[in-house]
Amino acid sequence: MSLHSDSYDYIVTGAGSAGCLLAARLTEDPAVSVLLLEAGETDGNFLFHWPAGFARMTKGIASWGWETVPQRQMNDRVLWYTQARVIGGGSTINAQVYTRGNAVDYDAWRDVAGCDGWSYRETLPYFKRSEGNQIFADDFHGADGPLGVSQPVAALPIASAFIRAAQQYGIPYNADFNGAQQAGVGFYQLTQRESRRSSIATAFLKPAMDRPNLTVKTGSQALKILVENQRAVGIEYAQGSEVHKSYASSEVLVTSGAIGSPRLLLLSGIGPAESLQSAGIDVVHELAGVGENLHDHLDLFTIAECSGRHSYDRFAKPHHALRAAAQYLLFRNGPVASSLFETGAFWHSDADQLAPDQQPCDLQFHFGQGSGIEAGVASMPQGGVTLNVAYMRPKSRGTVRLRSANPEDAPLIDPNYWQDPEDRRRHIQGLKIAREILQQAALKPFLKAERLPGPGVKTDQELFDYTCANAKTQHHPVGTCKMGVDNMAVVDPQLKVRGIERLRICDSSIMPMISSSNTNAATIMIAEKAADMIRGLPALPAAIVGNSN
């Protein structure tokens, strides 16, 4: 083992969505030097760039290989917990769905969590700045940003049939989930440009790679934050068998994600004293909220078998897959151009009890044009479709803890799903709605029968048993280094770690409450806003619009 050292203005730990964007924005100033560390490798494999490659990613490619602890409220089920380990992070391996959530999500950050500057109207300009939307250019969207955002180009007829079926159930059509209203059913906007994935690595980092003031080191795992006299001065990291130290003259910026960021702080001796001591780590700075407030969207699903070749399942066979690859290379369309989840809906678990315009949406549906798309999800021999549903506003809270002081050990991840009985009730209600949608007339020509949970599963107890055996994460963990002003806040509204100078956290871990949608867009927004804070720039003017339920 050898020891090396060097110095930069900023060190960024983790080249995910937030880290790639921060490194690109900060190095726009040629006088500023940045070191970006990434434990994973580059995104050179074509599967990272072909939209349908997402299906392979869920099997564990480019991830840490972690899992949850047994979930007490789910019959002690252990869930696979994908966390990206590659340049671009989640934006390199996700399903490319670009949704921001509801205005009330961000207004709650300000009004409930006390985070001034983070309301919807104040964050909307940062959403817009990164966005290069190829369809919309209006008060809610940006058209000139680096991040490609487009409509699906490879949706099958059954996807349109799903939209009609949801309308028959009672959900209105919505052409833009990120516009004036979230509620409705329609096509998702996707982080794609010209039928290729537009990850943050592709959109932001790669155009900056030739800058002499940017250094990117892959295969480099941050081991601990170096702290002297309550001030972050650098990072110790492993690169192969060697341990290096690099120093930051301005700030250390932690962007290791909702699991990785608290893990790094804990390994550095920053966190709850009792938790640190039980892991055999000396307390450098006691901060009770580190690793607390973990929450996530749990995903339930129903699968129906198709009556014919209506889904993309047939392209799992090698000869069909080769034909699809050739079609994509020649024409940039066909199955490979599909993210597989291209239509969906936002709706209400209790729509019959309260008028929809009086409540924000609390359910999100993703319609998958196949079965067995994600790891752990059954596939249908004759082909099928999957309808996922997640309860968007969970009250349950969990933790991230260390297994030991050894940075090679996987962390103890406990989302504590369904700790609050209300989460369970509303989630199962969402599954019932999903089953009803698949029974509507518009889908009758395409579907043979529901196979999971299956017609024999009827009671709430039977549905509970089914979900305990089959539920999965929607890959949206947040909140473990939450922003706020209370005693459990880890960072303040400027994203500065309480009690440690020159240290900020700038990723999904700072969300006080989860956004009611896929979380990648919100993470990108956090990094955009953080970049201006770090550079000392004035906040962008607040928007004059807002969206409704």
Q: Which domains, from first to last, does the chain contain?
A: 1-51+84-150+192-295+477-544 (3.50.50.60), 153-187+298-391+418-470 (3.30.410.40)
Q: Which helix (H) or strand (E) holds 530?
A: helix 520-535
Distance CA 447, CA 349 (A): 25
496-512 confidence digits (pLDDT tens): 999 999 999 999 999 99
pLDDT at 371: 92
Measured CA to CA, the distance from residue 117 to residue 493 in angstroms comes to 8
Mapped onto helix, strand or coil, the DSSP state of residue 409 is: coil
pLDDT > 90 fraction of the chain, expressed in percent and rounded:
90
Lowest mean pLDDT among 103-107, 309-313, 440-444: 309-313
Residue 356: pLDDT over 80: no
Q: What is the mean pLDDT of the chain?
A: 95
pLDDT of residue 2: 42
pLDDT (tens digit, 9 = 90+) per residue, 287-303?
999 999 999 999 999 99
Residue 476 appears among annotated catalytic residues: yes
Average pLDDT over residues 239-260: 97
**Active-site pick, 310, 366, 427, 476:** 476
User: pLDDT tier at 359 (50, 70, 90 boundaries)?
Assistant: confident
Mean pLDDT of 412-441: 98
Alpha helices in 381-459 (DSSP H): 421-438
Query: Strand runs (DSSP E) across 126-219, as ranges?
Result: 131-133, 147-149, 184-187, 192-193, 196-197, 214-217
pTM for this prediction? 0.96
As a three-state string, the secondary structure of 84-148 is ECECCCHHHHCCCECCCCCHHHHHHHHHCCCCCCCCHHHHHHHHHHHEEECCCCCCCCCCCCCEE
Q: Are 270 and 284 in contact (CB under 8 A)?
A: yes
Alpha helices in 1-83 (DSSP H): 17-26, 54-57
pLDDT digits (tens, 9 = 90+) for 384-403: 999 999 999 999 999 999 99
